[in-house]
Amino acid sequence: QAQLVQSGAEVKKPGASVKVSCKASGYTFNIFGISWVRQAPGQGLEWMGWISAHNHNTHYARKFQGRVTMTTETSTSTAYMELRSLTSDDTAVYYCARGRRSFTSGWPMVLWGQGTLVSVSS
């Protein structure tokens, strides 16, 4: 069945970058959008942006513009989210999620990865 499997937990120092991967299987990867959502410890959900796996167009939340890059690699059915200039406020679980309909946006999000914990600490 369709699933998204994310890379493992990361520990980073302030100022560093992190790149989280999200490997898709069980569906045609390059016709759906992928959104990225994060959740700080004990907090709610925050949408970061999305990428079309079809044409690689990206839309980033204003808060993350200039600091985030979302990419996809069709040959391996993998999406990536890189976040730079990390601070302790970026400590969170990062989720990838697939959009519901092909050739449209990365939402509503019908298929979610298991989450990747990124801890930022000096």
Query: Which residue ranges make up the site for another protein (CB under 8 A)?
Result: 35, 37, 44-47, 59-62, 95, 97, 100, 105, 107-110, 112-115
16 versus 115: smaller Cβ distance to another protein: 115
**Distances 96 to 20, 39, 121, 122 between C-alpha atoms, Å:** 9, 12, 23, 26
Q: Report, in Å, the least distance between residue 4 CB and another protein.
A: 9
Q: Report, in Å, the least distance between residue 85 CB and another protein.
A: 21
27 versus 107: smaller Cβ distance to another protein: 107
Task: Please give the backbone phi and psi of residue 6, each rounded to the nearest 5 degrees, phi first.
Answer: -95, 160
42 versus 87: smaller Cβ distance to another protein: 42
What token pair was written down for 7? Answer: 């890379």
Q: Report, in Å, the least distance between residue 23 CB and another protein.
A: 15
